[in-house]
Amino acid sequence: MENNFVVIMAGGVGSRFWPVSRTNYPKQFIDILGVGKTLIQQTFERFAKICPKENILVVTNEIYRDIVLEQLPDIKPSNVLGEPIMRNTAPCIAYASHKISRKNPDATIVVAPSDHLILEEENFCSIIKESISFASKNDCLITLGIVPSRPDTGYGYIQRTDKSTESNFYKVKTFTEKPDLELAKTFLKSGDFLWNAGIFVWNAKAIKTAFEKYMPEMNDIFKEGRVLYNTPKETEFIKNAYTRCKNISIDYGIMEKADNVYVRPSSFGWSDLGTWASVYDVKTDKDYVGNVVIGSKNVIMYDSANCMVRVPKNKLVILQGLDDYIVVETGDVLMVCKKSEEQMVKQIVADVKQNTGEKYI
């Protein structure tokens, strides 16, 4: 297990969970589900079953460093990697990979978002361990593909080949961005397509080689700091390095180009918790007319059904005549919108910012 490392990506701002998720305190640091633990706390505890806690790294925006240390008291401060600016997932992974490789060239690395829901943790851990074993012995890049349950247009898709090289690992044929509904239905019917969960497993040598081949400029940037990683000079080097990095995802920069990418079809009760509607979908404690209430126990509803309600704990809320609505209140903001039209939340946030400045963002 000492060669197993985990990189938790926790730099996003979670704008689709506004007004609960704010720039200064985003989604991953919030108990979105009302279960008593934040999403990053659940993620850290999950991976602590797979590798030593001292081998878990969190990559986040520099402004969230203190929040990470407060919420994860078991993490080493040196394992919280602060990004000076947002540059998507490729620089984040390049940085963490170089830092880990400097410490342990034989490392096998799991990379995962901080804000996903995993309902079947035992099954998840089993699949991750199986992937670590495969990646430690092979020059490959593994991505987990979720067996789709519906033709969802909110996820990217991975097409696998017919034949598995070893047990449950399949060579990847294509990656597809979020499709329209008709294409998503075709994908589901074919049986060859999986949802892209954004969870990766590889050994340090394989990801280093991939960066050298497909993103040499970015690789050179982080390679320059090799002797500075895990020293007091690391922070200053990273500040300069990030200003030279392209804003690009690991999917676009490497995974869609590499010829040694494998997918592990998986099913472990996964959701990326991308929207309020996705929280509604995964909550099992709906009332008899399909309402979900998180936060206050003092919500009284009349002639209302299929609503997603999240309000402060001591707030008395009366709702009448709502069907299929999202109602979210944070103290200084109240948002009420149709669940079927929640894609407007990003536009709402943009309009709020334009009309009122940063105060409510």
Kindly write down the DSSP assignment for every residue of 45-108, as one continuous string: HHHTTTS-GGGEEEEEEGGGHHHHHHH-TTS-GGGEEEESS---HHHHHHHHHHHHHHH-TT-E
77 located within any domain: yes
Pairing mode, if any, of strands 308-311 and 325-329?
A: parallel
Mean pLDDT of 348-355: 93
In whole angstroms, what is the distance from residue 274 CA to residue 247 CA? 21
Q: Let me know whether 108 and 41 are in one domain.
A: yes
Three-state DSSP class for 194?
strand
Q: What is the pLDDT of residue 178?
A: 86
Mean pLDDT of 279-290: 94
- Res. 154: pLDDT tops 90: no
Single out the residue in 271, 291, 321 at which a domain terminates.
271
Both tokens of 113, joined, read 């978002």
Q: Let me know whether 233 and 348 are in one domain.
A: no
Q: Let me know whether 236 and 260 are in one domain.
A: yes
Q: What is the pLDDT of residue 152?
A: 86
176 located within any domain: yes
48 located within any domain: yes
Distances (CA, A) of 13 to 10, 29, 256, 280, 297: 9, 10, 25, 20, 28
Q: What CATH number does the domain containing 32 carry?
A: 3.90.550.10
In whole angstroms, what is the distance from residue 3 CA to residue 51 CA? 8
164 located within any domain: yes
Residues 6+ apart with CB under 8 A from 296: 311, 312, 313, 314, 315, 316, 317
Residues 6+ apart with CB under 8 A from 73: none
- pLDDT-derived band at 179 (thresholds 50, 70, 90) equals confident
Q: What is the pLDDT of residue 166?
A: 61
Q: Let me know whether 159 and 23 are in one domain.
A: yes
Q: What is the pLDDT of residue 165?
A: 66
pLDDT in tens, 71-119: 999 999 999 999 999 999 999 999 999 999 999 999 999 999 999 999 9
Count of the separate structural domains present in the chain: 2
- Res. 144: pLDDT tops 90: yes
Distances (CA, A) of 335 to 28, 172, 309, 348: 20, 42, 10, 10
Single out the residue in 271, 292, 312 at which a domain terminates.
271
12 located within any domain: yes
Q: Check: CB of residue 194 under 8 Å from CB of residue 151.
A: no
- Helix 39-47 to helix 121-137 angle (10° resolution) is 50
Q: Let me know whether 155 and 241 are in one domain.
A: yes
Mean pLDDT of 132-147: 95
Q: What is the pLDDT of residue 153?
A: 82
- Residue 104 CB neighbours (<10 A): 15
- pLDDT-derived band at 203 (thresholds 50, 70, 90) equals very high
- Helix 204-214 to helix 216-223 angle (10° resolution) is 120
- Res. 67: pLDDT tops 90: yes
Q: What is the pLDDT of residue 346?
A: 87
Q: Let me know whether 258 and 284 are in one domain.
A: no
Average of per-residue pLDDT values in the chain: 94
Q: Comparing C-alpha atoms, which of 37, 76, 91, 54 is closest to residue 218?
A: 91
171 located within any domain: yes
Q: Check: CB of residue 270 under 8 Å from CB of residue 43.
A: no
Single out the residue in 204, 237, 271 at which a domain terminates.
271
In whole angstroms, what is the distance from residue 27 CA to residue 209 CA? 33
* C-alpha 104: how far from chain center: 25
In whole angstroms, what is the distance from residue 24 CA to residue 182 CA? 39
361 located within any domain: no
351 located within any domain: yes
- pLDDT-derived band at 260 (thresholds 50, 70, 90) equals very high
In whole angstroms, what is the distance from residue 89 CA to residue 108 CA? 18
Both tokens of 163, joined, read 């034949």
Distances (CA, A) of 163 to 166, 190, 244, 267: 9, 15, 41, 19
Task: State which H helix or E strand residue 163 sits in.
Answer: strand 157-166
Q: Let me know whether 183 and 221 are in one domain.
A: yes
Q: Let me know whether 20 and 151 are in one domain.
A: yes
Mean pLDDT of 41-67: 96
Q: Let me know whether 27 and 141 are in one domain.
A: yes
Residues 6+ apart with CB under 8 A from 292: 279, 280, 283, 285, 286, 307, 308, 309
Q: Let me know whether 247 and 308 are in one domain.
A: no
Residues 6+ apart with CB under 8 A from 227: none
Task: State which H helix or E strand residue 110 sits in.
Answer: strand 108-113
pLDDT-above-70 percentage for the chain: 99
Q: Let me know whether 178 and 73 are in one domain.
A: yes
Give me the domain span that covers residue 184.
4-271
Q: What is the pLDDT of residue 164?
A: 65
Q: Let me know whether 20 and 158 are in one domain.
A: yes
In whole angstroms, what is the distance from residue 181 CA to residue 108 CA? 37
Mean pLDDT of 254-278: 93
In whole angstroms, what is the distance from residue 220 CA to residue 218 CA? 5
